[in-house]
C-alpha cells in the first residue's frame, strides 16, 4: 500500500524521480475531479518545460493491409474476409511527399505482416523507404511487425530512424489471448535488436482489453526499462469480424490518465495523441493530458486507411495538419517544424 498523497507523488515525478509501481497505480486510480485536474495540469507543465509550445506531427502511410497474423483485436487479422490493399511504390512515395509538403515531421510507414514482402526480404519496402528519405528529407518510422535480425540490419543500413513494434500488454497471459499464436519474446527481441542497431524504438499498450491497473503500471515501467523513446497508449475499439467485436470500447478517461502518467514518468518521450481512435475530435483531450505528438495524419482521398477507426475523418480531410494546427492554436500550441523535430530527437 502506498501512503504518499497524490500531491506528493506528482511532486516526486516533477522532481525528476522515477515513480515506483505503487505510485503509478495510485495515479492511475485517481477518481476525484480535483486530483484529475491536478494530474493533467502537471503533465502539461512537464511537457511545456521540455518542449515549450511545440507539438510534433507524423504522417501515416498504412501501405499494406495484408497480414499473416490473427490478432484477436484487429480488423486486418488474416481470418477476416475484408477488402485489402497493397499500395505500389510510386503511390506510397507520392503520398509521403504530399504529407511532407503539408508539414509533418516524420513519415510513419506501417504494414501488416505481409508475406509478399517477407518473401522478397523486404526489397520493395527498403526501396520505398530510401526513395522517401531522398525525396522528402524527413526521418522515417517503420512499423513492420516481427521481422528477422537480418531485415532489421537492412532497415538500419538504409538509415531508417525509428522502429515501432507494440506488445500491447506486458502480461504474458493476456498477450497470448490478444496476439494469438505469436511469441512474446520474439516480438520483444526484435524491438531490442533494433535498439541495439541504433534505431529509436516505440513501444505501445492497448487499453480496455482485459488488463488490470497493475498490468498498465507494469507496461509503463517496462517501456522505460527497454529505453523506448516513444510510448503509446490507444483505447481498444471493437472491430467488425474479429473475436473481440462485442467488447465495449473503454471510457476515454483511462487512456487520458495513462498519457498523463507516461508524461510524468518520461518527460522527454514522444507520447502520441492518436487521431485513429476518436478522429480529430479526440485531439484536444489527449493534448491536454500531456501528449506531444499527433499521429495518424492521413491525406484525404488517398485511399489509405487508419488502424482502429480505419475511415474516420480520413476522406473528409479531418486528419490533416491544417485541422490539427487549428485546434492547437486555440490551446496556445503549434506544430513543430521538421528541423525542430530533428534537433529534439535525432541530433
Ligand atoms: S495487429 Fe498487426 S500483426 Fe496483428 S493481425 Fe493486425 S495487422 Fe496483423
Query: What residues contact residue 334 under an 8 Å CB cut-off, 6+ apart?
Result: 53, 54, 55, 325, 328
**Average pLDDT for 120-128:** 98
Structure-block grid coordinates of residue 50 = 521540455
Quick one: which H or E segment has residue 64?
A: strand 54-64
Kind and range of the H or E run holding 196 = helix 184-196
Domain annotation covers residue 208: yes
Q: Is 114 in the pocket of ligand 1 (CB under 6 A)?
A: no
Between β-strands 272-274 and 230-235, what pairing exists: parallel, antiparallel or unpaired? Answer: unpaired
Q: Which residue has the cell 501501405?
A: 63
Asked if residue 93 belongs to a domain, the reply is yes
For the segment 151-191, what is each residue's pLDDT rounded down to a tens digit? Answer: 999 999 999 999 999 999 999 999 999 999 999 999 999 99
Coil, helix or strand at residue 100:
helix
Q: Which residues are paired to 293 by β-bridges? A: 56, 272
CB 21 within 8 A of CB 218: yes
- Does residue 113 line the site of ligand 1, with CB under 6 A? yes
Ligand 1 centre from 179 Cα, in Å?
Answer: 8
Alpha helices in 52-103, H assignment, sequence order: 89-102
Distance (Å) from CA 70 to ligand 1 centroid: 7
Q: Are 92 and 311 in contact (CB under 8 A)?
A: no
Residue 1: inside a domain, yes or no? no
Task: Give residue 307's pLDDT band: very low, low, confident or very high (50, 70, 90).
Answer: confident
d(CA 158, CA 59) in angstroms, rounded, equals 20
pLDDT in tens, 239-262: 999 999 999 999 999 999 999 999
Residues 138-148: what's their mean pLDDT?
98
The yes-or-no verdict on residue 301 having pLDDT over 90 is no
- Total count of domains within the chain: 1
**Domain containing 138: what range?**
6-345
Rounded CA separation 148/145 (Å): 10
Helical packing angle, 89-102 and 123-136, nearest 10°: 30
- Is residue 80 assigned to a domain? yes
Contact 109, 143 (CB under 8 A): yes
Asked if the model's pLDDT at residue 302 lies above 90, the reply is: no
Residue 84's domain is classified under what CATH number?
3.20.20.70
Whether the full predicted model's pTM is greater than 0.95, yes or no, is: yes
How far does residue 113's CA lie from ligand 1's centre (Å)? 7
Distance CA 69, CA 180 (A): 8
Mutate to test the pocket of ligand 1, among 68, 71, 78, 164 (most ligand atoms within 8 A of CB): 71
Q: Is residue 22 part of a domain?
A: yes
Does residue 39 lie within any of the structural domains?
A: yes
pLDDT band at 313 (very low <50, low <70, confident <90, very high): confident
Ligand 1 atom 4 nearest Cα? 71
Dump pLDDT digits (tens) for 3-32. Answer: 899 999 999 999 999 999 999 999 999 999
In a domain, 224, yes or no: yes
In a domain, residue 159? The reply is yes
Amino acid at each position: 500500500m502506498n501512503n504518499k498523497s497524490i500531491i506528493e507523488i506528482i511532486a516526486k515525478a516533477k522532481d525528476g524521480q522515477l515513480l515506483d509501481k505503487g505510485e503509478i497505480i495510485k495515479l492511475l486510480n485517481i477518481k476525484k475531479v480535483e486530483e484529475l485536474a491536478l494530474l493533467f495540469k502537471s503533465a502539461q507543465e512537464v511537457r511545456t518545460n521540455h518542449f515549450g509550445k511545440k507539438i510534433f506531427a507524423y504522417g501515416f502511410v498504412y501501405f499494406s493491409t495484408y497480414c499473416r497474423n490473427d490478432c484477436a483485436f484487429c480488423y486486418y487479422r488474416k481470418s477476416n474476409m475484408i477488402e485489402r490493399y497493397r499500395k505500389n511504390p510510386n503511390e506510397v512515395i507520392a503520398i509521403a511527399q504530399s504529407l511532407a509538403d503539408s508539414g509533418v515531421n516524420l513519415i510513419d510507414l506501417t504494414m501488416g505482416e505481409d508475406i509478399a514482402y517477407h518473401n522478397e526480404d523486404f526489397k520493395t519496402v527498403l526501396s520505398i523507404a530510401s526513395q522517401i528519405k531522398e525525396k522528402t528529407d524527413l526521418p522515417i518510422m517503420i512499423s513492420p511487425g516481427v521481422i528477422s535480425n537480418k531485415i532489421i540490419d537492412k532497415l538500419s543500413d538504409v538509415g531508417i530512424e525509428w522502429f515501432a513494434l507494440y506488445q500491447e500488454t506486458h502480461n504474458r497471459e493476456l498477450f497470448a489471448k490478444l496476439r494469438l499464436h505469436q511469441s512474446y519474446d520474439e516480438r520483444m527481441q526484435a524491438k531490442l535488436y533494433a535498439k541495439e542497431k541504433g534505431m529509436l524504438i516505440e513501444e505501445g499498450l492497448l487499453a480496455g482489453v482485459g488488463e488490470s491497473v497493475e498490468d498498465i503500471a507494469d507496461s509503463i515501467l517496462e517501456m522505460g526499462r527497454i529505453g523506448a523513446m516513444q510510448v503509446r497508449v490507444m483505447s481498444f475499439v471493437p472491430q467488425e469480424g474479429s473475436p473481440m467485436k462485442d467488447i465495449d470500447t473503454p471510457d476515454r478517461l483511462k487512456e487520458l490518465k495513462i498519457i498523463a502518467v507516461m508524461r510524468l514518468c518520461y518527460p522527454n518521450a514522444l507520447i502520441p495523441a492518436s487521431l485513429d481512435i476518436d478522429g480529430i475530435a479526440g485531439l484536444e483531450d489527449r493534448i491536454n493530458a500531456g501528449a506531444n505528438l499527433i499521429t495518424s495524419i492521413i491525406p484525404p482521398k488517398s485511399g489509405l486507411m487508419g488502424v482502429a477507426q480505419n475511415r474516420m475523418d480520413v476522406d473528409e480531410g479531418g486528419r490533416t495538419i491544417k485541422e490539427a494546427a487549428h485546434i492547437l492554436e486555440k490551446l496556445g500550441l503549434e506544430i513543430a517544424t521538421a528541423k525542430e523535430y530533428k534537433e529534439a530527437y535525432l541530433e
